[in-house]
Chains A and B, each alone.
Chain A
Amino acid sequence: SAVISQKPSRDICQRGTSLTIQCQVDSQVTMMFWYRQQPGQSLTLIATANQGSEATYESGFVIDKFPISRPNLTFSTLTVSNMSPEDSSIYLCSVVGTSGSNTGELFFGEGSRLTVL
């Protein structure tokens, strides 16, 4: 299975500021996914980060608010810009397994819990 490290694991942020979340995978993957989980809710896909091209955003999410970088096949960042209390969520990085019995399975990082005051 893929080992995914995210940081920060949690943070408390002030309204109007921006925060960048880092995601490191222990193997090379083509696509990395960023999800948001608002309190008490399910997971919503923000965007798919592809190495060497711009991220693909889902409906309701825009690059100005959630810029993503994907400099190589093992690393990605998600920035939450100009934060408001409504951005308080867990942000999860995930990848799809590509080897053996893990092929096609979605693995998650530990998550980054953001609280915006």
Chain B
Amino acid sequence: ELKVEQNPLFLSMQEGKNYTIYCNYSTTSDRLYWYRQDPGKSLESLFVLLSNGAVKQEGRLMASLDTKARLSTLHITAAVHDLSATYFCASAYGQNFVFGPGTRLSVLP
């Protein structure tokens, strides 16, 4: 059974600081996704990572994938308040998607 864990589950950080969210998955996966969810809203796709060593960056967010360690990271650089949201990683194999529990991020002024 494919399981996905995220660490930390809650993160409170000050503006301007850097931090990393970790996503571990338990079995073979062929794609790894990161999503953002604002309160009361649906999920917005941030990154799709397809291969070992893949790195993608958008603004202050950078995602990477290590398939050998079954680990993906979402790095936040110089956080700003607008990044406050819940971030989910999801591992996929074929049409089977499994979501992590989410990391609730609060960026404080």
- Name A residues whose Cβ lies closer than 8 Å to a Cβ of B: 1, 31, 33, 41-43, 45, 48, 90, 92, 96, 104-111, 113
- A92: chain B residues at CB < 8 Å are 42-43
B31 touches A109 (CB 8 A): no
A104 touches B43 (CB 8 A): no
Interface-side segment among B19-27, B74-82, B94-102: B94-102
- Name B residues whose Cβ lies closer than 8 Å to a Cβ of A: 31, 33, 40-43, 45, 48, 88, 90, 92, 95, 97, 99-102
Q: How far is the CB of B11 from chain A (nearest CB, A)?
A: 15
- A48: chain B residues at CB < 8 Å are 95
A113 touches B90 (CB 8 A): no
A105 touches B99 (CB 8 A): no
- A96: chain B residues at CB < 8 Å are 95
B interface, over-half SS: strand
A107 touches B45 (CB 8 A): yes
Closest 10 CB pairs of A and B: A111-B42, A43-B99, A108-B43, A108-B42, A42-B101, A42-B99, A110-B42, A42-B102, A105-B48, A106-B97
Q: Give which listed residue, B31, B41, B42, B99, contacts A104 with CB less than 8 A.
A: B31
Q: Give which listed residue, A43, A106, A111, A113, contacts B92 with CB less than 8 A.
A: A106
- B31: chain A residues at CB < 8 Å are 104
Q: How far is the CB of A97 from chain B (nearest CB, A)?
A: 10
B42 touches A106 (CB 8 A): no
Instruction: Evaluate whether A106 and B101 lie within 8 angstroms (CB atoms) in the complex, with A42-B88, A111-B42, A113-B40 already known.
Output: no
B41 touches A43 (CB 8 A): no
